[in-house]
Amino acid sequence: MAEPILEVRDLTFSYEGFSTPVFRDISFSVSPGDIFVILGANGAGKSTLLNCMTGILTQYRGEILLHGRPLRQIPIRERALMMGYVPQVAVPTFNYTVRDYVVMGRAPHIGLLGTPSEEEYARADAAIREMGIEKLSSKLVTRISGGERQQVQIARVLTQGANLIILDEPTNHLDFGNQLKILDIIKSLSEQGLAIILTTHMPDHAILLDGRIGILDHTGHMTAGALRDVLTESALKQLYDTDLRLLHIDELGRDICVAVGRRKAP
Amino acid sequence: MKKIISILLSLTLILGLLAGCSTPAAEGECDSPAPSPSASSGAGADTVLYTDNCGREVEIPTDPQRIAALYGPTFEASLLLGLADRVVASMGGSLTAWAQVVYPRAAEIASINNPQTPNVEDLTALDVDLVMHWSTPDALENMENAGLTALGLSAAEPTWSTTDEYVQAVKDEYRTYATVLGDDAMERYQLWEAYFDEKLDYLDSRISTLSQEDYPTVYYIRSNENDGLQAYLNHHGAEGEVMLAGGTLVTGDYDASVNSYGTVTMEDVIGWDPEIIILGRCTDTGMIYDNPAWSSITAVQNGDVYVGPNGVFYWDSSSERVLNILWLAKLLHPDLFEDLDMVAEVQEYYSTFYGYDLSEEHAKLILAHQDPA
Amino acid sequence: MSHRTKRWMLAGFAVVLVFVFLICLCVGRFYVPPLQTARILFNCLAEGIFHAPLEVTWNDSMESIILNVRFPRLLAAVLVGAGLSVSGAAYQGVFKNPLVSPDLLGVSAGATVGASLAILLGCASTLIQLSALAGGFLAVFITVSIPKLFRNNSSTMLVLAGIIIAGFMSSLQSLMKYIADPEVELSSIVFWTMGSLASIKMTDVLMVAPAMLAAFVAVIAMRWRVNLLSLGESEALSLGVHVSRVRGLLILCSTVLTACSVCMCGTIGWIGLVIPHFSRLIIGEDNRYMIPASVLLGASFMVIVDTFARNLTGSEIPLSIITGVLGTPVFIWLLKMQKVRVQ
């Protein structure tokens, strides 16, 4: 087992003035090649957890270690060299070309007063090729579809050169086909040795990714572990407060998660 | 129902429009013709009917006892005409250091700091029976509504174009003040008028030996606003004074403005290239000498930048303008007026008209635009 | 549009600026033949650098007009136009909002209060300018301190603080106008708030030029960082940008540029809002090109505006009036061109 890139130990966070913590005693770790999927209900604290992990929120109890060092003590630029973040898909305010947008990922490698050189652009082009979006290279980021924008953002985070990537609900707002495309990309990135953490609403996606799971429940506790152990029907029913089944499909060779739905009257 | 509402709405709209269109005409000064002091008695033994510069017929006391001299030159005029004892309120800026030397009671007169929009309650509390004010209809109406007797005494449009007309305009101005102030003001005015005429004859006798080409060109700065670019323009008293002293005001043909002073541009001044520069209501010649933009001007190169005198009130606008004309004449034509002793002239004026014996040092301070030590 | 094209465009803008500057130097109420203007300028260079003066074919008045009246004015116009435009551009990137102007954090309001106070106290023009600088910096200082007070460092909090301080300064300004003596001080204050380069001297320009040049260099050097900041705080943070530090630096530079501009010529509206939009329209939204373009276009625009101000009518028209009259329809036209997306 490789040295963990990110370790979360007994993480507890409450907003100032609130006695009830958003979540408590969360522990998990992520090593190169791992995929860690965080499932949680709306309002359970997934965004807060992500904000703690990316260093936006710092008033937590417990510890987050990045490459063994406390996250809060790592300077911002160094942190960006080790950890990349793909936010939920949003339309940027200004009209940059995809190529210019992707090269922004090289920011931690460029000084305060610098601009991207030919070399940096070469890396951006490489990432664009890796994601297979060359045809988008000179288009404006505001004029491409949501799915394309998600790919562009992943290309950007790749140019950062970090070996840990955190994605916030990467399949939101995407159509069915694009959702699966992104999941494929995530899987291939992990196969290349990157560590991936992502949040999602779709248990089925968690199954497709076949990584480790953390379920964040209403009380703020996380149950983390291997897919098979943690992702049980009862856990999911409790999480989503809805009737569902985990079924094994022989034809596909995998489990799926389906909602029971309303039964039609016979 | 809908029909009734729409008719009512339309009526309201039309009425509103009509009401809006009947608001009084533009603010600002009235544009009635030259002030002719017309007082017709008959409205009562102690009041007189007077038509002011706005054409308003106002019933004023024949001998006002509690006067608010708010319009700039009126306090000094009351001093000149011997009735300063009747002034209970005055524009802040006219109770000057020299006014207080010459007339110590000035320190006790109520100083009004917003004379163009006076607080009617303050004036009423002072039991003012006559307000000498600018010819601004709004302010006058305000005071009238509060039961105060107010007169608009400033001239809105320039009223003269030749030196003779200027002299007449000055005389008319002080005659107006004399009429309004009542009592023996008119007699004292006539003394002053005789003095004015005497001095004018004296100046004319010498200056008429010159032709207009010998008149030096003068640029007359008003205040230190805009670094010396605020100057007296055509039809300000200063132009008349310069002309009577045998000079030509370079701004004489500038765009006429109601205020008769305004801001010119640096390029204009360089273009006029005046021979003499005079600072009217300011004293810092450094403002001109230290500014490289002025360096090419003849007056600057020859060191001919002078500070004008300042006394009981600004010499360009008070009755002391007679002294100003003398001072200017001596400055512009030193060879013609070698025997003119300005110190003696100032002393004579102050003792004759203000009843104050000015020492030689004080006279020199006044001529140097300085405050009493 | 390729990067190469954009670089050529910037070069073109620079050439335009030089041309506009030279042409406007020849225009004025006092006629100086263009040939003499050129000779006077060259003589300055020849004398100063090569110690070999040209033969004098002009008179003192002409030299005074060109070197002491028009040149400092145009130089000031260049600095003010560029300064306000760049401040606007930087703020628009930092605050992710294309509708923001350099007065966002209250610098103009504060500078105006500082100048008014000095005018009321009867100070000389140099003191008035220093007072304006101090007022501008003080206002921004208070504005950036408010978020620290509430321990909320977001840009929204900053904008709110700016609105509060600008509003407060505005009431102070009204108080000053009320106190002012209507004969002398009030008109001075009002004229100052409308903007004019009429009384500018070379010493005034030299007083603020070094600070402004330093700020220009800093903002232009950081122009790619503005791109990063325009992605939003959390994204920029994730890319390793020290958001509060870079934002602080940009705010400092913009404050220097705007405060120095205001202290030279009073407050002038619209430039900080319209010129960056105009630059975006022509050269695109990438700040690497948009910011230098704003510098050049803003400078040219201001030179032209000032030339109108001093030549259109007999008296000087305040600069704000011209920029407003020209700026408003231009802005409406820009909105119509739909290059400005209001979100």
DSSP string of B233-266?
-TTSHHHHHHHHTT-EEGGGGSPP-TTSEEE--H
Residue B250: CA count within 13 A, CB half-sphere = 23
- Contact (Cβ atoms closer than 8 angstroms) between residue B317 and residue B72: yes
Give the whole-angstrom CA distance, residue B150 versus residue B67.
10
3-state secondary structure B156-199: CCCCCCCHHHHHHHHHHHHHHHHHHHCCCHHHHHHHHHHHHHHH
pLDDT at A6 over 70: yes
Task: Using the CB atoms, write b or e for B200-217: b if 16+ within 10 Å.
Answer: beebeeebeeeeeeebbb
Our measurement of the distance from residue C136's CA atom to the centroid of its chain's CA atoms, rounded to an integer in Å, reads 13
Q: In chain C, what percentage of residues exceed pLDDT 90? A: 44
Quote the minimal CA–CA distance from C4 to chain A in Å. 13
pLDDT at C179 over 50: yes
Nearest neighbour of C96 by CB, restricted to A80, A93, A100: A93
Maximum Cα–Cα distance across chain B = 94
Give chain B's contact residues with C (Cβ, < 8 Å).
Answer: 92-93, 113-114, 116, 223, 225-227, 229, 254-255, 262-268, 270-271, 273, 291-297, 301
For tokens 């990137």, the residue is C93
Contacts of A112 in chain C (CB under 8 A): 221-222, 225, 246
Q: In chain A, what percentage of residues exceed pLDDT 90? A: 42
Contact C231/A at CB under 8 A: yes
Tell if the CB–CB gap between B229 and C199 is shorter than 8 Å: yes
Q: In chain B, what percentage of residues exceed pLDDT 70? A: 87
pLDDT value for B29: 57
Task: Give the tokens for residue B317.
Answer: 């606008």
CA proximity to C110, closest of C320, C262, C283, C311? C262
- State the pLDDT confidence band at C184, using cuts at 50, 70 and 90: low
- Contact (Cβ atoms closer than 8 angstroms) between residue B32 and residue B170: no
CA proximity to A219, closest of A6, A9, A26, A37? A26
What Å distances lie between residue C319 and B11, B229, B254, C313, CA to CA?
A: 44, 18, 22, 13
Q: Which residues pair with B306 in a beta bridge?
A: B278
- Contact (Cβ atoms closer than 8 angstroms) between residue C343 and residue C221: no
Average pLDDT along chain B: 87
Give the whole-angstrom CA distance, residue C219 versus residue C338.
27
Q: How many residues does chain C have?
A: 343
Q: Is residue A266 part of a domain?
A: no
pLDDT at A219 over 80: yes
Q: At what angle do helices C107-120 and C243-265 cross, to 10 degrees?
A: 40
Q: In chain A, what percentage of residues exceed pLDDT 70? A: 98
Task: Give the tokens for residue B118.
Answer: 């006076």
- State the pLDDT confidence band at B26, using cuts at 50, 70 and 90: very low
pLDDT value for B197: 96
Q: At what angle do helices C125-149 and C243-265 cross, to 10 degrees?
A: 160
Instruction: Name B245's Cβ contacts closer than 8 Å, sequence gap at least 6.
Output: B203, B207, B325, B326, B328, B329, B331, B332, B333
Average pLDDT along chain A: 88
pLDDT value for A135: 92
| Touching partners of C (3+ C-beta pairs < 8 Å) | A, B
pLDDT in tens, C15-25: 999 999 999 99
Task: Give the tokens for residue B78.
Answer: 């009351």
Task: Give the tokens for residue A29.
Answer: 């770790």
pLDDT at B231 over 80: yes
pLDDT value for B37: 47
Q: Is residue A265 part of a domain?
A: no
Quote the minimal CA–CA distance from C152 to chain A in Å. 12
Mean pLDDT, residues A3-16: 88
Q: Is residue A171 part of a domain?
A: yes
Q: Is residue A230 part of a domain?
A: yes
What Å distances lie between residue C56 and C25, C36, C37, CA to CA?
A: 19, 9, 12
- Contact (Cβ atoms closer than 8 angstroms) between residue C62 and residue C274: no
Contact C1/A at CB under 8 A: no
Contacts of B225 in chain C (CB under 8 A): 184, 187-188
pLDDT value for B25: 39
H helix or E strand, kind and range, residue A61: strand A61-66
Instruction: Name C186's Cβ contacts closer than 8 Å, sequence gap at least 6.
Output: C177, C180
In terms of DSSP H, where are the helices of chain A? 46-53, 76-82, 98-103, 118-131, 146-159, 176-191, 203-209, 227-230, 233-240
Handedness of CA B315, B316, B319, B324 (dihedral sign): positive
| Touching partners of A (3+ C-beta pairs < 8 Å) | C
Instruction: Kindly report the backbone phi and psi dihedral angles of residue A20, in degrees, each rounded to the nearest multiple of 5, phi listed first.
Output: -80, 125
Quote the minimal CA–CA distance from B302 to chain C in Å. 14
Our measurement of the distance from residue B84's CA atom to the centroid of its chain's CA atoms, rounded to an integer in Å, reads 18
- State the pLDDT confidence band at B13, using cuts at 50, 70 and 90: low
What Å distances lie between residue C7 and A35, A74, C289, CA to CA?
A: 44, 38, 8
pLDDT in tens, B204-217: 999 999 998 889 99
pLDDT value for B104: 92
CB pairs under 8 A between A and C: 76
3-state secondary structure C258-306: HHHHHHHHCCCCCHHHHHHHHHHHHHCCCHHHHHHHHHHHHHHHHHHHH
Task: Give the tokens for residue A109.
Answer: 């490698």
What Å distances lie between residue C103 and A233, C174, C266, C297, C335, CA to CA?
A: 58, 18, 13, 20, 21
Tell if the CB–CB gap between C237 and A56 is shorter than 8 Å: yes
3-state secondary structure A103-164: HHHHHHHCCCCCCCCHHHHHHHHHHHHHHCCHHHCCCEHHHCCHHHHHHHHHHHHHHCCCCE
Least confident of A57-66, B7-16, B54-63: B7-16
What Å distances lie between residue C210 and A57, A113, C34, C195, CA to CA?
A: 40, 20, 30, 22
Instruction: Kindly report the backbone phi and psi dihedral angles of residue B151, in degrees, each rounded to the nearest multiple of 5, phi listed first.
Output: -125, 140
- Of C340 and B304, the one with more pLDDT: B304
Contacts of C69 in chain B (CB under 8 A): 266-267, 270, 293
CA proximity to C228, closest of A145, A117, A92? A92
- Contact (Cβ atoms closer than 8 angstroms) between residue B88 and residue B109: yes
Domain assignment of residue A25, given as a range: 6-259
Instruction: Name B249's Cβ contacts closer than 8 Å, sequence gap at least 6.
Output: B218, B219, B220, B232, B234, B238, B239, B242, B243
Maximum Cα–Cα distance across chain C = 67
DSSP string of C7-29?
HHHHHHHHHHHHHHHHHHHH-SS
- E strand segments, chain B: 39-41, 47-51, 57-61, 67-69, 87-91, 110-112, 130-133, 150-152, 217-221, 230-232, 248-249, 261-263, 276-279, 305-307
Mean pLDDT, residues C264-269: 86
Mean pLDDT, residues B244-258: 82
pLDDT at B30 over 70: no
Count Cβ atoms below 10 Å from residue B287 Cβ, excluding itself.
18
pLDDT in tens, A96-136: 999 999 999 999 999 888 889 999 999 999 999 988 899 99
Instruction: Name C256's Cβ contacts closer than 8 Å, sequence gap at least 6.
Output: C211, C212, C214, C215
Taking the CA atoms of residue A82, residue A88, residue A92 and residue A97 in that order, the dihedral angle to the nearest 10 degrees is 60
Contacts of A79 in chain C (CB under 8 A): 240
Instruction: Provide the number of structural domains found in chain A.
Output: 1
Task: Give the tokens for residue C292.
Answer: 């230098």
Task: Give the tokens for residue A125.
Answer: 């082009």
Mean pLDDT, residues B71-88: 94
Task: Using the CB atoms, write b or e for A222-233: b if 16+ within 10 Å.
Answer: bbbeebeebbee
Give the whole-angstrom CA distance, residue C187 versus residue C56.
42
Give the whole-angstrom CA distance, residue C293 versus residue C273.
14
Quote the minimal CA–CA distance from A208 to chain C in Å. 28
Instruction: Kindly report the backbone phi and psi dihedral angles of residue B69, in degrees, each rounded to the nearest multiple of 5, phi listed first.
Output: -90, 80
Q: Would the ipTM clear 0.95, i.e. be above it? A: no
Q: Is residue A38 part of a domain?
A: yes
Give the whole-angstrom CA distance, residue B258 versus residue B236.
10
Contacts of B295 in chain C (CB under 8 A): 60, 64, 68
Q: Is residue A94 part of a domain?
A: yes
- Contact (Cβ atoms closer than 8 angstroms) between residue C75 and residue C22: no
CATH number of the domain within which A41 lies: 3.40.50.300
Give chain C's contact residues with B (Cβ, < 8 Å).
Answer: 28-30, 59-61, 63-65, 67-69, 125, 181-184, 187-188, 191, 198-199, 201-202, 310, 314-316
Q: Is residue A264 part of a domain?
A: no
Tell if the CB–CB gap between A95 and C288 is shorter than 8 Å: no
Contacts of C226 in chain A (CB under 8 A): none
Domains of chain B: 2-190 (3.40.50.1980), 210-367 (3.40.50.1980)
Report pTM.
Answer: 0.81
Give the whole-angstrom CA distance, residue C224 versus residue C211.
22
